Amino acid sequence: MSFFSFGQSAEIDVVLNDAETRKKAEHKTEDGKKDKYFLFYDGETVSGKVNVTLKTPGKRLEHQGIKIEFVGQIELYYDRGNHHEFVSLVKDLARPGEITQSQTFDFEFTHVEKPYESYTGQNVKLRYFLRATVIRRLNDISKEMDIVVHTLSTYPELNSSIKMEVGIEDCLHIEFEYNKSKYHLKDVIVGKIYFLLVRIKIKHMEIDIIKRETTGTGPSVYHENDTIAKYEIMDGAPVRGESIPIRLFLAGYDLTPTMRDINKKFSVRYYLNLVLIDEEERRYFKQQEITLWRKGDVVRKSMSHQAAIASQRFEGSAASESALEQAAKEESG
């Protein structure tokens, strides 16, 4: 047997059985770019073939076994190299021996549990991948193939509206209301803001969607806030008794479902942040947590139709009904 890589070597390729028909999903990589990966859900079978192609035909390749693994792991960036595996399945494809020609091996991981959604954040990464390995005495030959997992939820039964009051004594008093506290990733946030008392000169008002990523435990907890969206509600001074409607479409933003205490390693939460800025550049704000969830693909109505339905439920006004009728005309048109 030759050493220092002068002997036989091989290339490994992993091919899914349903590669031509399986959907792909965009997913952010660690460098911030987006790539497309095969999409799986919890409980789905993962099956395919491992192709081992010899680089020098006719020359034998000795090995200590060939295997494929299905792995789900979490990596905290402040603890690089220390991977926390929450799924680890192994299939042996060949016993120790030798290969004299290129070969293909079938594999199947039946009804695999995939409990968490794939996620790439500021300080943490949760990934699923297949890894095929030809085990050798000196240096293994391996190939990894990442997949993306989405977790689906059912519509929350209890989904009460959010009503809050905020103010500064004798200066400002406002009420704001959002139609729900739980939204799916393609939903529309409908709300309104009512000014009960205005004695300061407000020049600008906006709603921000803030993602808060929390990693680690105890003294090693890191919080990372990221403003996903800024939505201007008002530019100019409001007056007492004024009511301002809010309609914010979530589909255009890079959002994930809310994740709470994933494998006791990290959480991802979302907040609506109401911001008021006065003429002296003082900022007043109020945060409210919302829950985001992913629902399965269904035949989707147009966004204008969704907004009109949400508005009608929330406001219950004749104006909303006319908006609904207008959206229906747009659909048919």
Read off the pLDDT of residues 110-166 as tens digits, 9 standing for 90 and up.
Answer: 999 999 999 999 999 999 999 999 999 888 999 999 999 999 987 767 788 888 777
Model pLDDT, residue 303:
45
Q: Is the pLDDT of residue 6 over 60?
A: no
Q: What is the pLDDT of residues 222-274, one digit of tens each?
A: 899 999 999 888 776 677 778 888 899 999 999 999 999 999 999 999 999 98
Residue 329, domain member (yes or no):
no
Q: What is the CATH number of the domain that holds 137?
A: 2.60.40.640
**Do residues 143 and 225 both lie within one domain?**
no
Q: What is the mean pLDDT of residues 301-312?
A: 48
pLDDT, greater one: 89 or 232: 89
pLDDT at 37 over 60: yes
3-state secondary structure the chain: CCCCCCCCCEEEEEEECCCCCCCEEEEECCCCCEEEEEEECCCCCEEEEEEEEECCCCCCEEECCEEEEEEEEEEEHHHCCCCEEEEEEEEEEECCEEECCCEEEEEEECCCCCCCCCEECCCEEEEEEEEEEECCCCCCEEEEEEEEECCCCCCCCCCCCEEEEEEECCCEEEEEEECCCEEECCCEEEEEEEEEEECCCEEEEEEEEEEEEEECCHHHCEEEEEEEEEEEEEECCCCCCCEEEEEEECCCCCCCCCEEEECCCEEEEEEEEEEEEECCCCEEEEEEEEEEECCCCCCCCCHHHHHHHHHHHHHCCHHHHHHHHHHHHHHHC
**99 with 65, same domain?**
yes
Do 255 and 195 share a structural domain? yes
| pLDDT given for residue 56 in this prediction | 85
Please state the rounded mean pLDDT for residues 166-183: 82
* Same-domain status, 68 and 181: no
Is the residue at 82 inside a domain?
yes
Dump pLDDT digits (tens) for 69-79: 999 999 998 87
> So what's the pLDDT on residue 40?
97
Q: What is the pLDDT of residues 129-142, one digit of tens each?
A: 999 999 998 889 99
* Judgement on whether residues 115 and 192 belong to the same structural domain of the protein: no
What pLDDT score was predicted for residue 331?
A: 45
What is residue 63's predicted lDDT score, i.e. its pLDDT?
93
Would 333 be classed as within a structural domain? no
> Residue 181 half-sphere exposure, CB side, CA atoms within 13 Å?
12
Is 145 in the same domain as 167? no
Any domain includes 323: no
Q: 0.95 cut: is pTM over it?
A: no
Same-domain check for residues 108 and 33: yes
pLDDT at 300: 40
Q: Which pLDDT score is estimated for 172?
A: 74
**pLDDT at residue 30, as a whole number:** 82
Q: Is residue 40 part of a domain?
A: yes
pLDDT at 50 over 50: yes
Number of domains in the chain: 2
124 and 193 in a common domain:
no
- Domain assignment of residue 250, yes or no: yes
Quickly count helices (H) and strands (E) in the chain: 2, 22
- Percent of the chain clearing pLDDT 70 (strictly above): 85
Is the predicted pLDDT of residue 174 greater than 80, yes or no?
Answer: yes
Average pLDDT over the chain, rounded to whole? 84
The pLDDT value recorded for residue 249 is 93
d(CA 78, CA 62) in angstroms, rounded, equals 39
Residue 220 placed within a domain: yes
> Are 135 and 178 found together in one domain?
no
* Residue 168 and residue 286 in one domain: yes
**pLDDT of 333:** 47
Structural domain includes residue 188: yes
How far is it, in rounded angstroms, from Cα 237 to Cα 101?
A: 78
pLDDT band at 285 (very low <50, low <70, confident <90, very high): confident
Residue 286 sits in which domain range? 162-293
Q: Over pLDDT 90: what percentage of the chain?
A: 52
184-236 per-position pLDDT tens digit: 999 999 999 888 877 777 778 889 999 999 998 777 788 999 999 998 887 76
| Greater pLDDT, 25 or 4 | 25
16 with 140, same domain: the answer is yes
Of the candidate ranges 75-84, 151-160, 270-279, 282-291, the one whose mean pLDDT is the lowest: 151-160
